[in-house]
Structure 1
Amino acid sequence: FFLLFILRLNDITKNFTVKLFIITSYIMLITVVIVTEMQVHIVLIPVFTILLFMIPAFIKVKVIDENKDLKINN
């Protein structure tokens, strides 16, 4: 599951700092989930899968916006 997530990141964004930030934030989220009760964990699994697809799409949009801004400045 986690390897698939990292591969997905590589496909969508080539920005290393963005990748690093997302991976660290995901590790933090996963540790929080593991610390909480297992019942809560079962409920959160679908939420994590939704986030998995939402976050890269959101970042792709942000990266495109930044590129537009750079072109305008130049």
Structure 2
Amino acid sequence: MNERELLLKDIDDISKQIEVVTRQIDNSDYNITGLIAHKTRHMDRRDMLETRKAELEAKLALLPAEEPEAGV
């Protein structure tokens, strides 16, 4: 192989490596996006549960105090 062929081969090898790394970057972006969406769903669920808990606690606070049971 002459110098020109060697350079062309090296350039081709590097181009292939760039393609692989670019796919890895794209996959990382996809995974990060998926993780963020997953975390957001969990956070939304937690917020909904915390809101429901606060509503129930407020409702409980409005109820009259219970009398202790006799004979206990």
Structure richer in helix, relative to its length:
1
TM-score (norm: length of structure 2): 0.41
Higher relative contact order (CA 8 A, sep 6+): 1
User: Under a length normalisation based on structure 1, what TM-score does the superposition of the two structures give?
Assistant: 0.40
Greater Cα radius of gyration, structure 1 or 2: 2
